[in-house]
Amino acid sequence: MVSKNITVKNEQGMHMRPASLLSQKATPFESSVKIMFNGNSYDCKSVMFLMSACIKCGSEIELVCDGPDEEKALSEISEFIESGMGD
């Protein structure tokens, strides 16, 4: 298991478009990909779970990846989140 703390920079936070793009990025990985936020765990492969997290700009999240391709998943997904998630 690997993890990384990230500050969300997207001005609108985790709304539909970035949640959908993040889910598309996470789905191909064999590893589980989760966001820890406010004491809860959210599956990054589910748009609905991501939207239910109510993650806003400036929120501190922990990205947690666990599985055979966890290092690659952590690298690619953390880079996507840090870049603003397509917005």
Chunked mean pLDDT (size 10), the chain, 87 residues: 96 92 97 97 96 95 98 97 87
Tokens of 67: 């599985």
Question: What is the DSSP annotation of 27-75?
Answer: TT-SSEEEEEETTEEEETT-HHHHHHT---TT-EEEEEEESTTHHHHHH
Please state the pTM of the whole predicted model: 0.93
Beta bridge partners of residue 4, listed in sequence order: 63
Q: What is the largest CA-CA distance in the chain?
A: 33
What contacts 79, CB < 8 A, 6 or more positions away? Answer: none
- Any idea which residues carry the catalytic annotation? 15
Q: Which CATH number fits domain 2-82: 3.30.1340.10, 3.40.50.150, 3.90.960.10, 3.10.310.10?
A: 3.30.1340.10
